[in-house]
Amino acid sequence: MERRIAVLVLSVSLFGGALAGCTGPAPQAAQAPSPALLATQMLAHPPGVGVQPTGQTKVFNLYLHKMTHEVYPGATMQMWGFSLSDDPTTATVPGPELRVQEGDLVVVNFLSTVDGFDHTLHWHGQNVPYHQDGVPYVTQDPIPSGQDYTYSFIANPAGTYWYHCHVDSQHHIDMGMYGALIVEPQDPAQDPPFDREATLFLDEMDRFHLESGQPATGNLPMSGDPFDLAHYAQREAQDIVDRNQVISDKVTGTPLRPTRDWYPVTYAPYIVDRNTFLINGHAFPMTTPVFTPDGGVLRMRIIDAGDEVHSLHLHGHHMLVTHKDGVLLDHPYWADTLLIGPGERYDVYVRGDNPGTWMLHDHMGDNEQNDHIHPGGMMTMLVYDSLKDEVVAHQHGSRAEAAGLNPWQHSGAYLQG
Amino acid sequence: MERRIAVLVLSVSLFGGALAGCTGPAPQAAQAPSPALLATQMLAHPPGVGVQPTGQTKVFNLYLHKMTHEVYPGATMQMWGFSLSDDPTTATVPGPELRVQEGDLVVVNFLSTVDGFDHTLHWHGQNVPYHQDGVPYVTQDPIPSGQDYTYSFIANPAGTYWYHCHVDSQHHIDMGMYGALIVEPQDPAQDPPFDREATLFLDEMDRFHLESGQPATGNLPMSGDPFDLAHYAQREAQDIVDRNQVISDKVTGTPLRPTRDWYPVTYAPYIVDRNTFLINGHAFPMTTPVFTPDGGVLRMRIIDAGDEVHSLHLHGHHMLVTHKDGVLLDHPYWADTLLIGPGERYDVYVRGDNPGTWMLHDHMGDNEQNDHIHPGGMMTMLVYDSLKDEVVAHQHGSRAEAAGLNPWQHSGAYLQG
Amino acid sequence: MERRIAVLVLSVSLFGGALAGCTGPAPQAAQAPSPALLATQMLAHPPGVGVQPTGQTKVFNLYLHKMTHEVYPGATMQMWGFSLSDDPTTATVPGPELRVQEGDLVVVNFLSTVDGFDHTLHWHGQNVPYHQDGVPYVTQDPIPSGQDYTYSFIANPAGTYWYHCHVDSQHHIDMGMYGALIVEPQDPAQDPPFDREATLFLDEMDRFHLESGQPATGNLPMSGDPFDLAHYAQREAQDIVDRNQVISDKVTGTPLRPTRDWYPVTYAPYIVDRNTFLINGHAFPMTTPVFTPDGGVLRMRIIDAGDEVHSLHLHGHHMLVTHKDGVLLDHPYWADTLLIGPGERYDVYVRGDNPGTWMLHDHMGDNEQNDHIHPGGMMTMLVYDSLKDEVVAHQHGSRAEAAGLNPWQHSGAYLQG
């Protein structure tokens, strides 16, 4: 009898030990897996694949409009902004946030009111069927101006994603064609809890490319609206001429800049001098503060919609880096400076344990400028709720600002301490 | 009796619990180690160090030849390519893959047929004895043209590595002097299993530097072959003159660009305008598709052989990042956009669960261009086997392409939905 | 009786299994936490927050002086260097290392002897009260030249941090206003043990901006000392004129470069041509070797004080990456090439198991140059103690160097093997 009990207890104890083994992101092995086995398990369950549809449909009417946009005081740009309304005055850069739940059927009816340019929409990071992927001449024909087009797909994986045009992508994204796609997890406990969230889009552009009558550096100045198709075609034609004349091999005489016929459709040259740096469509001091709850937890979804790497530094706190490209990391890590590249997303969590006004800015000095003048560009502040009234009183457009006071300066708070 | 059994069972159960503890990359502690202890254990066993030699020798005859190379349709460059043969028509950029097993004795007999330039070979990431490290004037004298030189070393660690010249490195690597060195692990189970693999070399260059008769931007145009030594010496002499005359201190009159004698050997100035962006030696649309097994696992070894960071985005899938600089990560992570810097390698695994044609491209807009024209540059596609015939039919050089059809366009597949 | 013993043993065995579960960085749960729970636990204990003060005070008198500084042989720059002494000949770039213990009260008395410029000090990554954070016009008024100012804060978190000016930051950091702040942990066992450590500051600059009489590219040459306030004000006034005249909208005639009044205080334009690349204030071949203990462990604290990303490659070894932004990683990883962005810090550990002289350099070719000439820039060497005498004999200023021998060349060591 004793022996039978002993054997029973032995088996149970080994099994109990195994139950306490390492947690992997995939179904748990009886023992902690080797790195190779861990990778194999993860590959069997890529994020989002096989998600259970919710049975819900979220429909969005997404328009594209021409708009003017003040980037920083005195600097106005002509851009293309998305809107959920056909009223062009509601267009914004970045475009509207589309927020759905993982497993929802997402339906986006797209219509551009900007004459003469084609577009598509790409759902960066989402596992869509390929015919919904938005790549011109590969997965679809581009959508002409004025023509309706509908995208539909089951949202997956969960996390922070974004949508943008994929026709002449660098140019059209610079014009403003991007917005956030936030896919909530089905299980709210999947993400660490937070008290407040903010989405921060990073971007750079050539302000002068987008000014009326002043095309990009390197192209001939042209009069008239650079955004109408006739003007664009004129620049294309001029470029073809230039390409065959400007530089030739000194020995053989053959043109060293070839014609543009390596592909059925190529776009006018786009040579960008990046002199303007944006967070959520504005440059300092016109960036919006990120209001932070005293003693609470702030989640920031950071998206690089530009063409450059950025090195974002937060004063006074370390950030907990929790998600990469929408997916929760098994092993989050602390950082006070976050390096992020074009297309990437990082979610970070910050605990509000140090009340104050804290700079959050690109540590790349070139990018803290408006047209080479500092301060400017990719700079904003985390402002604690307890200091909100002071800072808001000084914000752009306030009487304090009109009186020449620094919009970011505490009225007297920093004299304390 | 019962008590003795009870004590025995107690000990066994605690031990059984410990067996189920965390797996570290190093010998396992009875309990999960603190991060400091984990690091200490890892440092006691750096990757590759102390590997058991296999007793096998792998010998490679590696030649360097001048070659012409079509980067994208109509854009031909003169380059230097490696080959395993003395026949110059077999030279390639990137050079041939050298594949060995960890612990093999690798013997590389190097011979350059390019007149007038010195070279070395460096085995980036490998633990070689320092006299095999290939650093000119530090670990060896450079190897003159036409002279044999043999490198030999025990291959370690396992993983994805690469070889390149280390004389006037930026210039010689731009000329094409690089190739993959794949070191297979001794234990095949060390890596997660995969069904197919592909190596992707990323690179950028100044196409006009390498054109006959047209040296780099900023240098005087010269007639004749820019690759012969007389021409190179002429440019050097001109540069020394320029340096002493062009810019002088306005107040003191002393030259602000010093002579070049801070080191016994310095090289002619190399000022690069990066306007051409390559994957495995070609720019879109001449990049090769990455054929992906439906339902299988693709492993991609990604190597940045250039001078810039790249932000590689794959459509329709998250990639599992498994290896950094050849070494398996304890904790792989998911990414749809991979930031990679010069010299780095990342291995990623992709599960083929979303049939289609999927762009894999640098999200840095400047790099999706051929000489400022989009589309081009650092763009390719993952093409599923089930769609292979359609896409291949349209590839460069096919009749479909001759008929003006987009080489990347499915014949009609994207009209499905 | 047997049943009661069996029950007892059963409970003990399950508990024993749990004791062997995964170690998290925060208080340990009885079972390995899910990633969301792990993040939540970590957020409850951000690094440094709630540290127990040591009761010790560390006082530093920190001066700023003008200085001349030879970056590489023949290339002298005028810079601003910190010192712990009022004797200007003791100023250095980087500035002096401030080394304290976590929980110490740090008191820094700052005084600048450079006429006409304002400054602040920012403690990058430290959890200071916001009025100690050093952001001009946000947390304090800037400190005029010649005026004392005292910062004081409890040092936390532990790790590798740095201090720098935050007035006209890119410009003032380029002038040399940075140094290391090393915060030792209270528990020495918190970090993995090492035998030797070295701090490596990475930086880039425009050497010609800082030459007497030669302002930055793009600005009009001016005579006289560019560092005195009258000259600086002259450049500012000229810029305002330029801005209103140089580029105007071709259609509307309005100036496209606005005036600079979007903020109460803006600084003269600073347009940098980065042509000089430094490790600890010098460019190759004037960089200092990193002497490495044979068979021992070297810890390197790497800090990017510049405006660019760097891709640091070490020959002959993989580095164990242990700390990010001062904080120990739960899961260190191996790398032979480290990508680091402005403001970031990485600590790496290297085991000295491969005696030799090993290059440690930026793999970005542009940065391995002095004014476009290679070799130069961001390159140094790890030199093993056993080879120290040979290499030191050839260092800059030695008779070997005067005889035209390469300062980095082993006298004959590389002929062995």
Number of CB pairs, chain A paired with chain B, less than 8 A apart: 272
User: In C, which residues are within 8 Å of A326 by CB distance?
Assistant: none
User: In A, which residues are within 8 Å of C334 by CB distance?
Assistant: none
Token reading at B386: 């089930």
CA atoms within 13 A on the CB side of B269: 23
User: Closest approach of chain C CAs to the CA of B311, in angstroms?
Assistant: 13
Confidence (pLDDT) at B327: 98
Q: How is chain C split among helix, strand and coil, in percent rounded to 5?
A: 20, 35, 45
Q: Above 80 in pLDDT, residue B217?
A: no
Do the bridges between strand B297-304 and strand B345-351 make them parallel or antiparallel, or are there none, so unpaired?
antiparallel
Q: Omega of the bond prior to B221 within 30 degrees of 0, cis?
A: no
Question: Is B315 within 8 Å of A135 when comparing Cβ atoms?
Answer: yes
Question: Is C258 within 8 Å of A309 when comparing Cβ atoms?
Answer: no
Whole-number CA gyration radius for chain A: 26
pLDDT tens string C377-417: 999 999 999 988 777 666 655 555 666 666 676 544 443 43
DSSP assignment, residue C11?
A: H
pLDDT tens string C238-265: 665 665 554 554 444 455 555 677 777 7
pLDDT of chain A, 417 residues: tens digit per residue: 334 443 333 333 333 333 333 333 444 334 568 999 999 999 999 999 989 999 999 999 999 999 888 888 777 777 899 999 999 999 999 999 999 999 999 999 999 999 878 999 999 999 999 999 999 988 888 999 899 999 999 999 999 999 999 999 998 999 999 999 999 999 999 999 999 999 999 999 877 665 433 333 333 333 444 444 555 556 566 666 665 554 554 444 555 555 677 777 788 777 777 889 999 999 998 898 899 999 999 999 999 999 999 999 999 999 999 999 999 999 999 999 999 999 999 999 999 999 999 999 999 999 999 877 889 999 999 999 998 877 766 665 555 566 665 666 654 444 333
Measuring CA to CA, how many Å separate B358 from each of A219, B61, B379, C9? 33, 38, 10, 57
Confidence (pLDDT) at B115: 83
Alpha carbon of residue A220 to chain centroid: 32
User: In B, which residues are within 8 Å of C8 by CB distance?
Assistant: 6
Q: Can you list the pairs that A77-84 forms with residues at least 24 positions away whose Cβ atoms lie under 8 Å?
A: A77/A205, A77/A207, A77/A210, A77/A211, A77/A276, A78/A210, A78/A211, A78/A212, A78/A227, A79/A175, A79/A176, A79/A210, A80/A114, A80/A172, A80/A175, A80/A176, A80/A177, A81/A176, A82/A176, A82/A177, A82/A179, A84/A60
User: Closest approach of chain C CAs to the CA of A202, in angstroms?
Assistant: 16
pLDDT tens string B368-389: 998 778 899 999 999 999 988 7
Question: Is A125 within 8 Å of B318 when comparing Cβ atoms?
Answer: yes
DSSP assignment, residue C101?
A: E
Q: Above 80 in pLDDT, residue C276?
A: yes
User: Closest approach of chain B CAs to the CA of A192, in angstroms?
Assistant: 18
Question: Is B324 within 8 Å of C330 when comparing Cβ atoms?
Answer: no
User: Quick one: which H or E segment has residue A109?
Assistant: strand A105-112
Question: Is B38 within 8 Å of C336 when comparing Cβ atoms?
Answer: no
Confidence (pLDDT) at C256: 54
Measuring CA to CA, how many Å separate A216 from each of A220, A243, A269, A275, A278? 8, 17, 9, 12, 19
Distance CA A89, CA A15 (A): 65
Out of A19, A131, A256, closest to residue B214 by CB: A256
A343 phi and psi angles, rounded to 5 deg? 90, -25
Question: Is B5 within 8 Å of A10 when comparing Cβ atoms?
Answer: no
User: Closest approach of chain B CAs to the CA of A37, in angstroms?
Assistant: 7
pLDDT tens string B320-342: 999 999 999 999 999 999 999 99
Confidence (pLDDT) at B197: 98
User: In A, which residues are within 8 Å of C325 by CB distance?
Assistant: 318, 334-337
Mean pLDDT of B269-278: 82
pLDDT tens string B97-130: 999 999 999 999 999 999 888 999 999 999 999 9
* Predicted confidence band of residue B390 (pLDDT cuts 50, 70, 90): confident
Out of C2, C44, C168, closest to residue A5 by CB: C2
Alpha carbon of residue A263 to chain centroid: 29
Asked if residues B358 and A130 have their Cβ atoms less than 8 Å apart, the reply is yes
User: In B, which residues are within 8 Å of A128 by CB distance?
Assistant: 316
Per-residue b/e over C174-201, b at no fewer than 16 CB within 10 Å? bbbbbbbbbbbbeeeeebbebebebbbb
By C-alpha distance, which of B232, B109, B82 is closest to B164? Answer: B82
Q: Above 70 in pLDDT, residue B22?
A: no
Mean pLDDT of C140-160: 95
Alpha carbon of residue C105 to chain centroid: 22
User: In A, which residues are within 8 Å of C326 by CB distance?
Assistant: 336
Nearest chain C residue to A7 by CA: give it.
Answer: C6
Distance CA C32, CA A405 (A): 53
Q: Give residue A135's identity as a one-letter amino acid code.
A: V
User: Quick one: which H or E segment has residue A234?
Assistant: helix A229-245
Question: Is C130 within 8 Å of A416 when comparing Cβ atoms?
Answer: no
Asked if residues C97 and C201 have their Cβ atoms less than 8 Å apart, the reply is no
The full 3-state SS of A188-232, as one line of letters, equals HHHCCCCCEEEEEEEEEECCCCCECCECCCCCCCCCCCCCCHHHH
DSSP assignment, residue A130?
A: G
User: In B, which residues are within 8 Å of C222 by CB distance?
Assistant: 250
Nearest chain B residue to A273 by CA: give it.
Answer: B366
Provide the sign of the torsion angle of the four alpha carbons A356, A360, A363, A366, taken in this order: negative
By C-alpha distance, which of A302, B30, A358, A330 is closest to C42? Answer: A330
Confidence (pLDDT) at B137: 85
pTM for the whole thing? 0.88
User: Closest approach of chain C CAs to the CA of A304, in angstroms?
Assistant: 15
DSSP assignment, residue B62?
A: E
Interface test with A, best of C325, C346, C364 (most A CBs within 10 A): C325
Distance CA B338, CA B312 (A): 5
Secondary structure of residue C153 in the 3-state scheme = strand
Nearest chain A residue to C329 by CA: give it.
Answer: A333
Distance CA C285, CA C407 (A): 8
User: In C, which residues are within 8 Å of B209 by CB distance?
Assistant: none
Confidence (pLDDT) at C275: 86
Distance CA C341, CA A87 (A): 42
Question: Is C214 within 8 Å of B266 when comparing Cβ atoms?
Answer: no
More confident call, B370 vs B52: B52
Measuring CA to CA, how many Å separate B46 from each of B51, B157, C319, C359? 10, 9, 9, 19
By C-alpha distance, which of A139, A205, A270 is closest to B377? Answer: A270
Whole-number CA gyration radius for chain C: 26
Distance CA C263, CA C168 (A): 13
Nearest chain B residue to A346 by CA: give it.
Answer: B335
Confidence (pLDDT) at A78: 78
ipTM strictly over 0.90? Answer: no
Asked if residues A93 and A81 have their Cβ atoms less than 8 Å apart, the reply is yes
Provide the sign of the torsion angle of the four alpha carbons B202, B208, B212, B213, taken in this order: negative
Secondary structure of residue B246 in the 3-state scheme = coil
Out of A35, A131, A171, closest to residue B25 by CB: A35
Asked if residues B168 and B216 have their Cβ atoms less than 8 Å apart, the reply is no
Out of A139, A169, A251, closest to residue B223 by CB: A251
Number of CB pairs, chain B paired with chain C, less than 8 A apart: 273
Beta bridge partners of B150: B109
Q: Omega of the bond prior to C157 within 30 degrees of 0, cis?
A: yes
Confidence (pLDDT) at A264: 74
User: In C, which residues are within 8 Å of B45 by CB distance?
Assistant: none
Q: What percent of chain C has pLDDT over 90?
A: 58
Ranking A33-42, A205-214, C80-89, C326-335 by mean pLDDT, the lowest is A205-214
User: In C, which residues are within 8 Å of A322 by CB distance?
Assistant: 39
B173 phi and psi angles, rounded to 5 deg? -70, -40
Nearest chain A residue to C138 by CA: give it.
Answer: A409
Task: Give every CB contact of residue C165 below 8 A, 6+ residues apart in sequence.
Answer: C119, C120, C121, C122, C134, C172, C173, C177, C178
Confidence (pLDDT) at C229: 53
